């Protein structure tokens, strides 16, 4: 009987995996210990073994696509065996199927009765006729992040006469409150959103046109999704706030409009208050419309600047070398989980921070002596891991996890050490770090860091931490604060070692100072507990011989 292979749970934080590579294709023979695929998780790229024998009958997820944990990714069975009942009774693939899907899914739906089709046609025809005498005003896109806008105020009501440069409404977006201009002449026939309510971008908010126009037909076509509800291309104008095709030159607003001044209500009000003849103000808004900034910058009686003297060459106009642009990068599985877990940590655990300076003079001397006899090179980070582990043994409250309705105090000490790789951060774990020598920690850390950078870490190597260390000192960072790595109750941020002038017994001298910052979860670790932990840690680093006895 055919057997399904599902997306396995390859880490404690994994919710889905991306098929990085298929090692078998449909029709290939599969043995129980064959690697059938490589899956990219949030932590590493790992191998998937089917643990069944037979022929690969079905591949449910294409290379480069993702599937959720427990989704069917493949089926193995006897050649020619009918596997489709497994798909119907099991979990459907998350990202489509490589094989042919059941035929019923590919068939077009049965023809609908002619009567509804005819009714739709009548609605569309009526809407098209109505749009000859009316213009649909939609919620404009007023910022790059806007999804909806709230009507703060309507400046016109149904039945009012509207001119093409009138401000119909004020809309509050996610960035600012802006004006909406209809760019249509006629009567305000319909208001679709009340003051204080919101509408999504491109929703109909108003209709302007001839009195008596059949607006019901336009709205009916909009609800049915018909294209007739769209404003004809010849009547569509850019919304307020959108970029015009070409920047208009500033000119007195009345000059090109038969003496009628194009200005926003706010600009008119400001001009009246300041006693400015608004017809003399150059407009820099859409179509030469006068806006607030034009009134604010206008100087009555100011003359255009005289041309520069022939002896002085005018500065060349700036011409940008390129155009504005951006690049969108799809999120990797690791980056998705980093974002989710750190957001949960930051906004769930009440963080507080404790800082301390550590004199590393003796540590520098001790490291030099240790590396003369150690089989592997010991780093300052290795010394911090060892010191932190020994301090945790003396302060077990810091070696704890918040479990919702109880606190779990760990008897073992597993220190995670954050590593930056191309996709983000991963935290390999040094297990029983308090019991290991510096050279053992150094050797194990190097091996784990190499695996992390090659995405070869196994789940047990990046899970189970009870405390974490994040070190940016090697990148020249003096000090920083880190976000707690769940399920830990604290994380230690390590800065670089820097020569600093200090005063001691009235004498100034230069010492090597390393700044440490402890981020604590206040639900578990109180200020005094964290302070005592840091004091013990400082003692181990300032007198490293105490870590060796």
Say which residues have a Cβ less than 8 Å from residue 239's Cβ, sequence separation at least 6.
138, 140, 141, 142, 180, 181
Degrees, nearest 5: CA angle 262-266-270? 100
Give me the torsion for CA of 455, 458, 462, 465, rounded to 10°. -170
What gap in Å lies between CA 343 and CA 163, rounded to an integer? 50
Q: Which residues are bridge partners to 507 per DSSP?
A: 504
Give me the torsion for CA of 183, 187, 189, 194, rounded to 10°. 70
Kind and range of the H or E run holding 272: helix 265-274
> In this structure, are residues 74 and 8 in contact, taking their beta carbons and an 8 Å threshold?
no
Active site (annotated) includes residue 522: yes
Say which residues have a Cβ less than 8 Å from residue 39's Cβ, sequence separation at least 6.
7, 8, 10, 17, 18, 19, 20, 45, 46, 47, 48
Residue with tokens 């002896």: 311
Residue with tokens 């091996």: 447
Active site (annotated) includes residue 382: no
Where are the extended beta strands (E) located within 268-310? 282-283
Q: Tell me how far CA of residue 292 lies from CA of 53, 152, 250, 278, in angstroms.
A: 76, 19, 14, 11
> In this structure, are residues 499 and 490 in contact, taking their beta carbons and an 8 Å threshold?
no
Structural tokens at position 445: 């850390």
Prior bond of 487 cis (ω within 30°):
yes
Q: Tell me how far CA of residue 168 lies from CA of 157, 241, 288, 452, in angstroms.
A: 9, 14, 18, 59
In terms of C-beta density within 10 A (0-12 exposed, 13-18 middle, 19 or more buried), how is residue 139 classed?
buried
With CA atoms as reference, report the closest residue to 484 among 353, 316, 301. Answer: 353
CA quadruple 181, 186, 191, 194: dihedral sign: positive
Please spell the DSSP secondary structure of 40-104, one letter per residue: E-SS-EEEEE----EEEEEE-S-TT-EEETT-EEEEEESTT---HHHHHHSPPPBTB-SSPPPHH
What gap in Å lies between CA 67 and CA 61, rounded to an integer? 7
CA quadruple 128, 130, 135, 137: dihedral sign: negative
The one catalytic residue among 23, 82, 277, 522: 522
Structural tokens at position 32: 């129980």
Active site residues: 522, 526
């Amino acid at each position: 009987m055919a057997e399904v292979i599902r997306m396995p749970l390859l880490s404690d934080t994994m919710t889905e995996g991306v098929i990085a590579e298929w090692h078998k294709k449909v029709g290939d023979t599969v043995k129980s210990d064959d690697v059938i695929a490589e899956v990219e998780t949030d932590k590493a790229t790992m191998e998937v073994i089917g643990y069944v024998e037979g022929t690969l009958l079905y591949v449910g997820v294409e290379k480069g696509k993702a599937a959720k944990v427990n989704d069917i990714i493949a089926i193995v069975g006897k050649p020619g065996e009918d596997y489709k009942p497994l798909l119907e009774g099991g979990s459907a693939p998350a990202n489509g199927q490589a094989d042919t899907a059941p035929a019923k899914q590919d068939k077009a739906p049965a023809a609908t009765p002619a009567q509804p089709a005819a009714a739709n046609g009548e609605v569309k025809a009526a809407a098209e006729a109505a749009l000859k005498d009316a213009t649909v005003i939609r919620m404009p896109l007023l910022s790059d992040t806007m999804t909806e806008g709230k009507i703060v105020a309507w400046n016109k009501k149904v039945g009012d006469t509207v001119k093409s440069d009138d401000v119909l409404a004020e809309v509050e977006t996610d960035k600012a409150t802006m004006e909406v201009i209809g760019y249509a002449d006629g009567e305000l026939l319909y208001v679709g959103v009340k003051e204080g309510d919101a509408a999504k971008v491109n929703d109909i908010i108003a209709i302007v046109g001839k009195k008596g126009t059949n607006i019901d037909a336009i709205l009916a076509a909009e609800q049915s999704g018909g294209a007739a509800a769209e404003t004809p291309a010849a009547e569509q104008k850019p919304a307020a706030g959108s970029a015009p095709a070409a920047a208009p030159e500033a000119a007195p607003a009345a000059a090109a409009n038969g003496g009628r001044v194009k200005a926003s209500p706010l600009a008119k009000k400001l001009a009246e208050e300041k006693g400015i003849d608004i017809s003399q103000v150059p407009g820099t808004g859409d179509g030469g419309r006068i806006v607030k900034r034009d009134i604010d910058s206008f100087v009555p009686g100011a003359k255009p600047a005289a041309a520069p003297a022939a002896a002085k060459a005018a500065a060349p106009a700036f011409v940008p070398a390129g155009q504005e642009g951006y690049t969108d990068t799809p999120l990797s599985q690791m980056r998705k989980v980093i974002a989710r877990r750190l957001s949960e940590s930051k906004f769930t655990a009440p963080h507080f921070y404790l800082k301390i300076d550590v004199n590393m003079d003796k540590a520098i001397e001790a490291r030099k002596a240790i590396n003369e006899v150690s089989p592997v090179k010991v780093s300052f980070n290795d010394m911090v891991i060892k010191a932190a582990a020994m301090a945790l043994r003396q302060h077990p409250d810091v070696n704890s996890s918040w479990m919702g309705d109880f606190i779990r105090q760990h008897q073992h000490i597993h220190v995670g050490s954050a590593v930056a790789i191309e996709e983000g951060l991963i935290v390999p774990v040094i297990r029983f770090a308090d019991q290991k020598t510096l050279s053992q920690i150094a050797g194990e850390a190097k091996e784990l860091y190499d695996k992390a950078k090659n995405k070869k870490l196994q789940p047990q190597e990046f899970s189970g931490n009870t405390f974490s260390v994040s070190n940016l000192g090697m990148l020249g960072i003096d000090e920083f604060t880190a976000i707690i790595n769940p399920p830990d109750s604290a994380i230690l941020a390590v800065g670089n070692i820097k020569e600093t002038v200090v005063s001691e017994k009235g004498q100034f001298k230069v010492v090597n100072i390393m700044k440490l910052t402890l981020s604590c979860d206040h639900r578990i670790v109180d200020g005094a507990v964290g302070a005592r932990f840091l004091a013990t840690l400082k003692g181990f680093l300032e007198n490293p011989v105490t870590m060796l006895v």
